[in-house]
Amino acid sequence: MGQTLAEKIIARAAGREHVRPGEIVTCSVDLAMMHDSGGPRRIKPVLEKLGAKVWDADKVVVITDHFVPAVDVQSAEILNLTREWVVAQGIENFYDMQGICHVVLPERGHLLPGMFVVGGDSHSPTGGAFGCFMFGVGATDMAGIVATGETWIKVPETISIDWSGKMPRGTCAKDIMLKLCASLGMDGGDYQVIQYSGNVISSFDMAERMTLCNMAAELGAQTGIVAADNTTLDFIENTIGARPEAQNWHGDADASYRKTLRFDAGALIPQVAAPHSPANAAGVDEQASAKITQAYIGACTGAKLNDLQMAAEVLAGRQIARDIRLLIAPASVRELAQATKDGTLGILLAAGATLLPSGCGACAGYGAGVLGEGDVCIASTARNFQGRMGSKSARVYLGSPYTVAASAIAGEICDPRPFLDGGVL
């Protein structure tokens, strides 16, 4: 019997011809990524206690994104520790205040199809958009990986999710993921692999595929993955100046899947998740008219260039409601530069948006933009857990950048589609 894409990658990393679900194998790690929150400040004491050093500095990437820019002394000290540690360890792949790790990692050319990658963050499955097997680990596991270059894994099964048809106007990958959260629940992935396929997935650019794989974490999967195709290879070639070989990194025709789920994209409408779970998603009409105080376009899931462009498409020529705060935190400084160059940022600012630094920011409850008592926010982030963005009394809804932008104009949650058709001025 053939192997799934995930099984092929794990087998290669384990030095095996084949692996089967349920086996426990030891894998060589191609790349380890960590950020300032769960990285050096957590693993440095462990390595020192063990008398260990980084196994291969060229295979470690460190990115500051949680405590940037520093808003207090503690944040500044965490960042300084991170900067000093990478120098001491000889780590050249260090990106300081360049954006969110899950976006910076691929935009700097570190991900190639077939790689076995670990990340020190729960949204590390984002890397699966590039045909990698990438998953998140805690600080203790990361310390062991950084010291040895290896980790163990129980070979997961793969759940195939097919989206076919034609995406309706005003919907995007974020709507797909909220629909899946509602349909499957937050444990629907059962710590297995979710592989996305279908003509809709094939039509998506890399940014949309990143959203799908990123939010595999919200489905309780170990990771998400999309087989590499010309879209993947074109992105990588434009990034690193060379086209990678990817023809072997696809599942076999006779591979075995735990199950295959099929969805009709044509039936999708804009989705909104009510507090306090992404699984509380439903059609926007069920949440319409809920008053908001803040709209937030940020995070690894919702502030890439294409996300900013979606918001700008709605906001062009319009103004946000007088009593609403619309905060924009681009996912990386490169995305911000592109949004500035193509006019997207100008549209957002002209509509009344406030620009925040690139980083995790309010999504993770850090820095500017956190919510106060009684605030109601609609955000393009991946999670709306109680207290995550600030006060426990605050309420956070999730939606696509289209929906967040439209809601900022209306002052309440609303359907973005009329705005895209030139109505609801």
* Residue-level pLDDT, tens digit, the chain, 425 residues: 899 999 999 999 999 999 999 999 999 999 999 999 999 999 999 999 999 999 999 999 999 999 999 999 999 999 999 999 999 999 999 999 999 999 999 999 999 999 999 999 999 999 999 999 999 999 999 999 999 999 999 999 999 999 999 999 999 999 999 999 999 999 999 999 999 999 999 999 999 999 999 999 999 999 999 999 999 999 999 999 999 876 679 999 999 999 999 999 999 999 999 999 999 999 999 988 899 999 999 999 999 999 999 999 999 999 999 999 999 999 999 999 999 999 999 999 999 999 999 999 899 888 889 999 999 999 999 999 999 999 999 999 999 999 999 999 999 999 999 999 866 54
End-to-end CA, the chain: 58
Domains of the chain: 5-263 (3.30.499.10), 271-419 (3.30.499.10)
Please, which residues bridge with residue 327 across strands? 296, 354
Contact 302, 401 (CB under 8 A): yes
> How many angstroms separate the Cα of 296 from the Cα of each of 147, 160, 259?
39, 32, 36
Residues whose CB is less than 8 angstroms from the CB of residue 42 and which lie 6 or more positions away in sequence, other chains included: 139, 142, 143
- Longest Cα separation, the chain: 65
Sheet (strand 158-164) strand order? 223-225, 193-197, 158-164, 259-264
Residues whose CB is less than 8 angstroms from the CB of residue 245 and which lie 6 or more positions away in sequence, other chains included: none
Contact 420, 170 (CB under 8 A): yes
Helix extents (H) in 159-205: 173-184, 199-203
